[in-house]
Amino acid sequence: MSDNESEDLDGNEAELDDENYGEQPAADEDDEFAHQMSYSSYQMFVFVSCYVAYSIMLYNRKAFTFTLPHIIMEEYYSSYEIGMILGAQTMTYTLSRFFSSWATDVFPPRLMLVAGLFLTGFVTLAFSDQEDWSNIMILCAANGLFQGVAWPAVTKLIRSWFPKDENLPVNFGLWYAMLASAANLIGALGPGLANALANAQGWRLGIQIPALVALIASPVAYFTIWDTPAMAGYEVEFNNGKKKGHWSDLAGNDFMMLLVAVSFMLFVVKTCCQDWGHIYLLQERGVPESIAESYMVSMEIGGFLGTIFLGAVTDFMTRNGFYEGTNISPRMVPVQACVAGSAMFLNLFIFIMDSTTSKVCGLKI
């Protein structure tokens, strides 16, 4: 499971239970079929746009990590300085994501996503020209601050365009999982791409290219994403009869606190593996560069497949009433299995991997 997947899943699902699409105007069967096909096209268009925009922001957030081996060789930054840079970005990203979750309920998520894309590209481009590590730390912290809007914005958009429908084989869990798999896709392709760019023109090019892509993508996203189906000309009615919640309702919910704890643990594990796994294998275990890079790729491939598979499985379990009549959530059972698997494979990675190991097999579900 990715670091995003377990966050607010049951909370989002509860909200969706009370959201219902209104009836479309009366039309003959052929016109209604054409209208539904058109609506499906809009859904996929919005989903692909969100996926691409989110992927671009992810690459910009991890651009420094992807080029880290080249940065260490060219700039001679110490482990302390590298740790300060990565820690500052992670801290501001975490705080920003917390407050952005509230902001998406107040401000248009499309506008927040577009602004985040532009500011991320601008800041990333700015720190690619810096040499002093303290300046890079400040700009990376600003980058994390702007990055925090991405996940809340795209999940709010997906909630609006893909309401829960028990009559459909694809449920929200799978769409949510497919969107979260962008992190694994970028994690698998990013190191190789950054390494190729850095070998060609130095580490700064490996950061400048994604920054320019983000700047270009921001106005494109504005014209290819709509906040709600109503903005695209579809009449949608939401049931506003549900009681509006408050953050204190979540803070006092034991189940939500369990989700937060599980998500936090998985986030720490994955962030450490992504940010330091490559360097750990090179410096502490003495493995070749190609093997260290394959670790990153194999971990993300496992995450990509596991994310989509578990999204489909938990949807199936929810639709078919697994653990119905009990206090057990059908989505929490796979989560518990993933936590146990992550702990086991992390320990194998730490205590088994060395320069004589013939194959790196990282698994992060």
Considering only CA atoms, which of 90, 92, 212, 218 is closest in space to residue 153?
218
In a domain, 62, yes or no: yes
Integer Cα distance of 156 and 163 in angstroms? 11
Give the chain's mean pLDDT: 76
The string of pLDDT tens digits covering residues 120-177 is 999 999 888 888 888 889 999 999 999 989 989 998 898 888 776 545 554 677 888 8
pTM given for the model: 0.74
Distance CA 307, CA 312 (A): 9
Q: Domain with 141 in it: what CATH number?
A: 1.20.1250.20
Kindly state the percentage of the chain with pLDDT values over 90.
14
Q: With respect to residue 324, please indicate whether it lies within any of the assigned structural domains.
A: yes
φ, ψ (nearest 5 deg) of residue 361: -130, 85
Distance CA 198, CA 192 (A): 10
In a domain? residue 95: yes
Q: Is 2 part of any domain? A: no
Report yes or no on 359 lying in a domain: no
Within-domain flag for 202: yes
Query: Who's near 336: CB < 8 A, 6+ residues apart?
Result: none
| pLDDT score for 241 | 41
Q: pLDDT of 259-307, one tens digit each? A: 777 777 777 777 777 777 777 777 777 777 777 777 778 888 888 888 8
Question: Is the pLDDT at 2 greater than 70, yes or no?
Answer: no
Confidence of residue 328 (pLDDT cuts 50, 70, 90): confident
Instruction: Express each pLDDT in 172-197 by its tens digit.
Output: 778 888 888 888 888 888 888 888 88
**365 assigned to some structural domain:** no
Domain coverage including residue 126: 9-239+249-352
As for how many domains the chain has, the answer is 1
What is the structure's pLDDT at 26? 40
The alpha carbon dihedral of 237, 171, 337, 90 has a sign of: negative
* Any domain includes 24: yes
* HEC profile of 180-219: HHHHHHHHHHHHHHHHHHHHHHCHHHHHHHHHHHHHHHHH
